[in-house]
Amino acid sequence: QFVLTQPPSVSGAPGQRVTISCTGSRSNIGAGYDVHWYQQFPGRAPKLLIYGNINRPSGVPDRFSGSKSGTSASLAITGLQTEDEADYYCQAHDNSLSALYVFGTGTKVTVL
């Protein structure tokens, strides 16, 4: 069901840099489709964090950055803060028969 693979969890101390990978295939990220990232706190709806691989919506701190290469993408949090502890999901279009739009498996970020 999930065709974008993320690590289940990453952790870091306040101020550190953490990265979350999102691994896809030639039918989604590798086909040139944009990757988008969402942040979700427990009991809350997801919030758009990065769109079009690298763009931040208004109001998103610049410590969040995105990148994409080949069949993978990454979200980096530089200068980790306690309020960044949340779940993070990547998302992209997929041109196979599995689905039109797919989300990643999700990554829990823990601030130590």
Binding site for another protein (CB under 8 A): 1-2, 32-34, 36, 38, 44-48, 51-52, 57, 89, 91-93, 97-106
- Picking from 90, 104, 103, 94, the residue whose alpha carbon sits closest to that of residue 28 is 94
Give the span between the Cα atoms of 81 and 15, in whole angstroms: 6
Instruction: Tell me how far, at minimum, the Cβ of 83 lies from another protein, in Å.
Output: 19
Instruction: Tell me how far, at minimum, the Cβ of 82 lies from another protein, in Å.
Output: 23
Burial of 35 (0-12, 13-18, 19+ CB in 10 A): buried
Q: Which residues pair with 107 in a beta bridge?
A: 88
Instruction: Tell me how far, at minimum, the Cβ of 6 lies from another protein, in Å.
Output: 9
